[in-house]
Homo-oligomer: A and B are copies of this chain.
């Protein structure tokens, strides 16, 4: 017993089953609440074993497209309208991907014992030493973003001696610190005097702000604020939902 009902199976069978169902959901043929055929029905339709259709349905459940209920069956979920995948690229990668010349400039670097404000920003009770960095990224010699960063040296001691005059701290951290988790907060402000000068825009011009707080297994790594000219930069997020 094997093989499917129609068409050559270039992709593997479970992928085809998954794609078939996903298509019916996305076209609206199977609206939210609709019961997906039972596993044993799909087994019959595709002429395969239950593990195969189970793998397809499990992946759909993982992607939140369907909900699986014991004894009841699998149902198309109501779209969530809640989560989108936001691509926040490394700035250098983002600029070079646009075919523009990346420029980097260290404005300020200071090693100091953490102030109360620093601790607050890093979300720690008491920190030892930190590195505070201000720098600017540019595309084709036009200011692209200014970065204001704090690195917790008790988590990343090597950062004390790293040369941030050549390499942006973001790239350096990316290569020197393994997997982390982070939280981004996006907001809008108007450029004050200092920001306007750094970004070469008018005082009062809109700016997009990304605050990123990064940690690894409960240890703070770094906190950074990125300031972009609001009219020239955009964040794009794709998603599936309602």
Give the interface of A toward B (CB within 8 A).
25-28, 31-32, 51, 59, 62, 65, 76, 79, 81-90, 173-174, 177-190, 204-209, 216-217, 228, 230-231, 233-242
Contact = CB atoms under 8 A, between A and B. Distances in A.
A31 B178 CA distance: 6
Contacts of A181: 26, 238-241
A177 B86 CA distance: 24
Contacts of A207: 188, 206
10 contacts: A25-B179, A26-B217, A84-B182, A180-B240, A182-B240, A184-B236, A186-B208, A188-B189, A190-B204, A190-B230
A178 B238 contact: no
Give the copy number.
Answer: 2
A204 B173 CA distance: 37
Given A28-B178, A84-B85, A237 B183 contact: yes
A190 B178 contact: no
Contacts of A185: 234-237
A207 B217 CA distance: 35
Contacts of A208: 186-188, 208
A85 B85 contact: yes
A234 B31 CA distance: 32
A161 to B, nearest CB: 20
**Among A173, A208, A242: residue with most chain B CB under 10 A:** A242
A84 B173 CA distance: 18
A86 to B, nearest CB: 4
A189 B231 contact: yes
A190 B189 CA distance: 9
Contact of A238 (B27, B90, B183): B183
Contacts of A186: 186, 208, 234-237
Given A84-B88, A177-B242, 10 more contacts: A28-B177, A76-B179, A81-B90, A83-B87, A84-B85, A86-B184, A183-B236, A185-B237, A190-B230, A206-B207
